[in-house]
Amino acid sequence: MKISLGSPGQTFNVQIATGTSNLWIPSSRCTSSTCRLHPQFDSSASRTFHPLGYHFTIPISNPYNHHSHNFSHHSCGQQGDKRDKEEGELSGTVGEDMLSISGGLIEILDQSFGEVVQEQGQGGLKSALGNDQFDGVLGLGFDPRPVTGGLPFLLNLVDQDILRRAVFGVYLSRHEGDDDDDKGGSQLTLGGLDPAHRLVDIQWHEVTRTAQGQWAIELTAFALRREAFEIDGQAVIDTGFAYIALTRYQAEMINLQIGAKETWKGSGVYEVDCGRVAAGLFDFIILFGLEEYQLKGHDFNYEDIMRME
């Protein structure tokens, strides 16, 4: 999604992530080759910018950044086994400025954000974003103390009385890289929900607050081919994470049932035959609370687009 920071506005294409409250973009003071591939915020060019006088550090942890290189050419990969592999960190300074969305239809005064000045470790910005088309991250979490300072984006919208209702909606398209909503692009709605993307009645779930201010709900079970795997825990709904991550035990049990094999021992990434996915052999149900949500095989498998036609 495109946002504008400063006066006059400087435009960035940010990833919408419900798993964090942080807002950050590359700074013009970042001299790395990766930073130079993206638009960089120049605070000296904005007449409304105010430095807040402190620094931030964000660990980079993208356990599946390497997935596209390791899937078999004749298989579809199904992920599992949640494990953190620290790859480095982003660091910089914090300031505040005007943030506008949709060509100025929504304007937030004094929105705090982080300017990435330095990247350390493997991957850098690319690893943190997982996709070169994004320049930064706009967090939709509700942690009142994001590492990039001040009120997070959502709380600022409410605090400045910008929304009619304290509601937002995210529609995720299957058409990667298509920003045109008429062509199936993803969509963020603020202050309400778009009925064009709602086919059934809304199901309500009580939010379980995590220490990081993430949107977590009760996860009860997985069901596959009439066999249920009870799970007593919670699931974090994160639009910035493209996978279903489980504990190693849960991943092994589910993948054993569907005949998936780990790409290599300890990788946490599994592969299955694409033909069996297309045949509907891997459809299963996730139970959030008492509500069932059915997933088709193509909903949670990554296809190797170089060989799968």
Q: What is the mean pLDDT of residues 273-295?
A: 82
* pLDDT at residue 79 in the model: 44
Distance CA 88, CA 182 (A): 38
What is the pLDDT confidence band of residue 303, given thresholds at 50, 70 and 90?
low
**What's the mean per-residue pLDDT of the chain?**
81
Distance CA 160, CA 226 (A): 49
What is the pLDDT confidence band of residue 95, given thresholds at 50, 70 and 90?
very high
Distance CA 91, CA 21 (A): 16
What is the pLDDT confidence band of residue 300, given thresholds at 50, 70 and 90?
confident
Distance CA 136, CA 24 (A): 6
Q: 2-64+84-159 maps to which CATH number?
A: 2.40.70.10
* pLDDT at residue 211 in the model: 74
Distance CA 22, CA 86 (A): 18
Decide if pLDDT at 73 tops 60.
no
Q: What is the mean pLDDT of residues 211-220?
A: 86
* pLDDT at residue 4 in the model: 98
- Give the predicted TM-score (pTM) of the model: 0.81
What is the pLDDT confidence band of residue 176, given thresholds at 50, 70 and 90?
low
Which token pair is 305?
């687009």
| Residue with the larger pLDDT of the pair 115 and 79 | 115
